[in-house]
Amino acid sequence: MVKLRLLVSTLLVLAAVDQRVVQAGRPAWRWLTDSSDITPVPEQDEPIEAVQPLAPNRRQPVDESYRLPGTTAPIHYHLSLRTAIHENNRGFSGVVTIQLKVLEATSTITLLNRRLTIQRARLLEDATEAEIEQPSFVTDQRTEHLTFSISRALAPGEQYKLRIEFTGQLQNNNNMGFFASSYLDNQGDRHYLASSKFEPTHARSAFPCYDEPTLKATFELELTHSRLYNAVANMPANGDPVPDPDNADYVTTRFVKSQIMSTYLLAFAVSDFTIRTAGQQDVYARSNVFDETQFPLEMGNRVLDALGAYMDISYYDFMPKMTQIAIPDRGTGAMENWGLVAYGEPVLLFNPSINTYRNRKSVTTIIAHEYAHQWFGNLVSPHWWEFIWLNEGFATVYEYYAAQLAHPEGQYWELFTTEVVQNAFSADASESVRPMNWNAGSPDEIAALFDTVAYDKSGSVLNMFREVLGDDIWRQGLKRYMNTRQLDGAVAADLYTGLQEALEIGNAGFLPAGVTVSDLMESWTSAAGFPVLNVRRTYTDDHSIILSQERFLSNRQVPNSHVFHIPFDFTDGATRDFTPTPAGFHWMSSKASKISTTVPHNQWIIFNRQQTGYYRVNYDAENWELLIEALRTDPTRIHHRNRAQLVNDAYNLARADRLDFAVALRLMSYLKHETEYAPWSAAGSALTYFYNKLRGTPSYEHFRVYVNYILADAYAALSIDTVTPQETMLQLYLKQFITTWACRIEHADCLARTKQALVTAHAANTPVHPDISTAVYCNGLVDVSDEVFVWIYEQFKNSRNQAHRSVLIDALACSRNTGQLQSLLSVALGSGSEFDALLATERTRIVSAIYGASRAGVDALIDFLAIPTNVPEFVNRLGAGTLNSAISNIASRTNNQAELDRLNALLSSLGTAVSDTVASNARATVQNNFNWFTTYEGLVALEFFEKFATMPQEL
């Protein structure tokens, strides 16, 4: 241990802290990672890791040996667990008695077991529980099958009980299985707790079980724990805790018998949390954040009631209560366990005095997402993980829709297109992406199904059909689906049947002749990717349009014979009717077709009103010109969602070589007159792309002129350093976007006003209003004194709200002062009592925030890693993966020869600390950055920005 040498001597809060070998230098969807306008500099062209490179074949072969044999099935579990987590003892013990039925003649009973030690097993008579025998058993480590061998044949229809005694180890803060977490109280003392997260295949790590979604059963649970702790589970407690006869320091909490459900939905927690209750709902959280549970409790009641009314099936018809629990150090995930929804603290707790409007939005929509699962996933579960989109796709739709129902003034549904549909497009445009229906065998394959396809694509496709069928028929179909499959498993065909029946009852005749709902939906659910609808107007007397479809790919055009059943609608410059209605949709069920319209040749036409359909649209050159002229003249004549669609489609069509890039950039120039958030949000990925390509190059100044031009009017209309009560959520989104980009291109007024707002707040010792804190702190910190930097660091150090701490980490990383950044990196690697409150995720976030904020941060990281004695400490504290990621991100932000020289020097300095593969990939990334300037796309873009900088009115 050596004394930390700080280059910023005034950061007194850090000056006396001991650290190991840290001298000078410096060394991050889904829920709280919002769109590109939050992060100081988003990642460059990074692949979507969640989408696995699988061939587009729905029924790909899988290893069926991972599946249970199907000879027996569970009826009921009685599970007893004992934990001493209050002492930070990670061992636990348990006894499970499984009432089972025999489906086929067998002499074995096979369950699933992951790393549990089985001590003894007894096969019992079902009625009397008299012991029949103590079967031998063995676990296959590959398949995780726990097989009990029975000395006699078990006949179909017979029922038995299998009692198993076992021990296990709590997993360590990894949000899997039965795992341990901890937190600090106000006195700095650490408290420990244990909770569960079993989806998709982790119940088997807590107790031996039939861990497949369709093998449902009822559960009786009892938890033995410290008498100073409490226990919570899916069901209410069955009376007060009972003293443990073997140890006076322990009690046993027993719970009411559960509803029939899948093993992955069983949930429980043992903690010393406090509880806030309202009606049949309550929220559990650590006592020092109790005040932050009011908002989620109120919103939970509103959302659950709204969903029950919408579904016409009350949650309380099946479950007696709803509990939400905030797990510290669990990240930003959440899990929809029936009756006990578990969240990471940042996405449940809300403090209006420090948390932003984005936090409020995230808390609301994530509660709505998890509560939607109480129907989609809990009441009706997927028959197998192939159909996980029946859970996650619906929950994604109602994440926004139910939030809107519960809180109409919140404008949540306005974000669905940009946050879900356009995000899905990005991930779904790869040739290797999987379809929605996709089989899986092993636990790793199953886990890989929880990706952008399962969530955002599936939500986009489902919402498209909701719009096409109409919400009334859609709801009737969902109710029939739920009533038919409740407390059971479902496959995609069950959903299609429910919707088909609702259509027939409603006498809705707008489906193509001879085509069923199944035909329509299967063209989307069992095919990879999505289409682009090509619209070519003939400009002849019959006003005809030739339509064609093909699969959209981001990098090239590949022949594809698949035909999507595309529901299309359109409007034009004369009628301007942008309201989608079931009667307004037509079907494109061939590769090409010709339609006639009455649209005058001099009027624009727009397909896919409000972008309700999950497809892109490309037009002929003349129609694009008509649209550009209309947007420049009066953008309000086109619906704001379609303006966002045009921006997003044009940019991505250009990236895919389907549209001249100059057309896309000319269209985006209309944003100078844009006052709505959605089109600006759609433009964010394009602006980020060019920023990342051009920063640090001679062409960057031309790009700055372009961005300054389109921002100027919107920026002038905003008060970037104040908040009024009248501002809506979308106005706050817009303000943050515009402010972030204005300061990013070094707009003098933006930098001056944010700095002054920060200095004024520091002088008054009053934190900046949370709804402008992200922009003011980050941009104000670009050039401030060490005293102000320390002031914000103190807020971070003293905050117990994880979402607030993340905002402050990102803000601190925005400094351009090398000494301040090095001090912050020292915090990431710090040890000792000063740093006990730091979460592992916060340490790595500091690093990624610093290299993501600016080139100054990248340089500071290079300087830090170039000191050989710092590298072992970096890897020891943060892991080799963080180092590899840092190298990759340094490379992605390397745009000129001087920056490449710095990277090469760093790679030489690191030597064997990084592999040859990491180093070669980094150099290849830089070469690709350099090569872009000689590509067709690069040359067109550079010429456009150069001309725009001198004569914008002519483009």
Give 638-703 as a DSSP string: S-HHHHHHHHHHHHHHHHTTSS-HHHHHHHHGGGGG---HHHHHHHHHHHHHHHHHHTTSTTHHHH
Residue 608 pLDDT = 98
- Contact call for residues 222 and 253 (beta carbons, < 8 A): yes
Which string of b and e fits 660-686 if b means at least 16 CB within 10 Å?
Answer: bbbbbbbbbbbbeebbbbbbbbbbbbb
Consecutive 10-residue averages of pLDDT for the chain (955 residues): 32 33 28 32 33 43 94 98 98 98 98 98 97 97 98 97 98 89 94 97 98 98 98 98 96 98 98 97 97 97 98 97 95 94 97 96 97 98 97 98 95 97 96 95 96 98 96 96 97 97 82 90 97 96 95 87 96 96 94 95 97 98 98 97 98 96 97 97 97 97 97 96 94 97 96 96 95 95 94 95 96 95 94 86 96 96 93 94 96 97 96 94 97 96 94 70
pLDDT of residue 834: 82
Evaluate the CA torsion angle 508, 511, 516, 520 in order and state its sign.
Answer: negative
Distances (CA, A) of 801 to 183, 314, 770, 839, 931: 11, 34, 13, 12, 45
Q: Which residues of 56-86 are buried (b: 16+ CB within 10 A; e: fewer)?
A: bebeeebeeebebeebbbbbbbbbbbbbbbb
* Active-site residue, 292 included: no
d(CA 839, CA 837): 6
pTM of the full structure: 0.93
Cis ω for the linkage preceding 296 (within 30 of 0): no
Expressed in percent and rounded to 5, the helix, strand and coil fractions of the chain are 45, 20, 35
703, 691 Cβ separation under 8 angstroms: yes
Binding-site residues for Zn(2+): 369, 373, 392
Q: Do the beta carbons of residue 123 and residue 135 sit within 8 Å?
A: yes
**Helix H or strand E segment including 427:** helix 422-428
CB-based burial, 549-579: b 16+ in 10 Å, e otherwise: bbbbbeeeeeebeeebbbbbbbbbbeeeebe
CA–CA gap between residue 618 and residue 590 (Å, rounded)? 17
Residue 559: C-alpha distances to residues 258, 432, 549, 593 (Å) = 52, 14, 11, 18
- Cα–Cα distance for residue pair 78/146, rounded to 1 Å: 18
**Cα–Cα distance for residue pair 246/752, rounded to 1 Å:** 68
Contact 83, 92 (CB under 8 A): yes
CA distance 271 to 363: 22
Cα–Cα distance between 759 and 777 in angstroms, integer?
Answer: 10
Residue ranges of domains in the chain, CATH in brackets: 65-272 (2.60.40.1730), 530-634 (2.60.40.1910)
**Token digits for 47?**
């692949």
* Measured torsion, CA atoms of residues 426, 432, 433, 439, in degrees rounded to the nearest 10: -170
Which member of 292, 336, 345, 370 is catalytic? Answer: 370
Burial readout 223-258 (b: 16 or more C-beta within 10 A, e: otherwise): bbbbeebbbbbbbebeeebeebeeeeebbbbbbbeb
- Give me the pLDDT at residue 102, please: 98
Give one DSSP letter per residue of 443-457, joined into a string: HHHHHHTSSHIIIII
| CB of 288 closer than 8 Å to CB of 249 | no
* 3-class secondary structure, 274: strand
Supply the DSSP string of 219-255, one letter for each residue: EEEEEEEETTSEEEESS-BSSS-EE-TT-TTEEEEEB
Cβ atoms 561, 523 nearer than 8 A: no
CB 102 within 8 A of CB 153: no
DSSP 209: B
Integer Cα distance of 669 and 679 in angstroms? 12
Binding residues: 369, 373, 392
> Amino acid letter at 52?
Q
- Please name the amino acid found at residue 212: E
pLDDT the model gives residue 332: 86
How many Å apart are CA 490 and CA 488, to the nearest integer? 7
